Amino acid sequence: MRVVCRVGDVADGCVKRVELDGYAPLAVFNIGERYYVTDDTCTHVDASLAEGTIEGDVVTCPFHRGRFHIPSGKVVSRPPKCDLRTYVVEVLGDEVVIVE
Ligand code: FES
């Protein structure tokens, strides 16, 4: 398990970019006080999804408006063709961790 942030580091409805050794940049989402972690880099080009916009459980890429379902990483609308990698997340005490 790796700690990605603390509960409270990401407000409800927001996203934070996190860099951990050994991982691609990560995006930590708080959706209704549930935490989700995906790769931060859009699968289309190199945009940071942490700079995108969130509506419900969908994030819109800031570059070409591709959209991803945050919990599953699935593409909702193109141009991206490949889904985002997602991570199994647990909240332990006040820490958000990903399960390796
Ligand atoms: S870089 Fe994300 S949609 Fe193009």
Specify the residue with its C-alpha closest to ligand 1, atom 4. 64
Checking if the pLDDT of 75 tops 90, the result is yes
Domain that holds residue 46: 2-99
Tokens of 85: 């990698």
**pLDDT category, 100, cuts 50, 70, 90?**
confident
Mean pLDDT of 50-67: 98
- Ligand 1 site-directed mutation target among 38, 43, 48, 61, most atoms within 8 Å of CB: 61
- Ligand 1 site-directed mutation target among 39, 40, 44, most atoms within 8 Å of CB: 44
**pLDDT category, 71, cuts 50, 70, 90?**
very high
Checking if the pLDDT of 23 tops 80, the result is yes
> 6 pairs with which residues across the strands?
95
Mean pLDDT of 73-79: 97
- Strand 75-77 with 53-55, pairing: unpaired
Number of domains forming the structure of the chain = 1
The CATH number that applies at residue 76 is 2.102.10.10
How many residues are listed for the chain in this entry?
100
At 2, which helix (H) or strand (E)?
A: strand 2-6
